[in-house]
Amino acid sequence: MVEMHKPFSIPEKARVEWLGCMRELLEELNISDEAKQEFWDYCEVFSKHMVNKSTNLEAHMSLADHR
């Protein structure tokens, strides 16, 4: 899945957008709240692996971390 997304530039902002779409979809589904929460938790972690472009803020923060 990570490989499939490499041609695209995906910053954290895109991840937040993606999760927003997933939330809208989950809210419409007729499944238990527990199942929704479980799938949401999975997406929240999994989606981090798709981010392949750091934002200026992250670059700045990682620089600060190494001081």
Among the candidate windows 12-20, 30-38, 54-62, which touches ligand HEM by CB under 6 A?
A: 12-20
Which of 3, 10, 13, 42: binder of ligand HEM (CB under 6 A)? Answer: 10
**Residue 66 DSSP code:** T
The nearer residue to ligand HEM, 3 or 28, going by C-beta atoms, is: 3
Outline where DSSP puts E strands in the chain.
none
x/- string (CB under 6 A) for ligand HEM, residues 17-36?
A: -x------------------
* CA 49 to the chain's CA centroid: 8
Number of continuous H segments (helices) and E segments (strands) in the chain: 4, 0
> How far is CA 51 from its chain centroid?
7
Residues 31-60 that bind ligand HEM (CB under 6 A): 47, 50-51
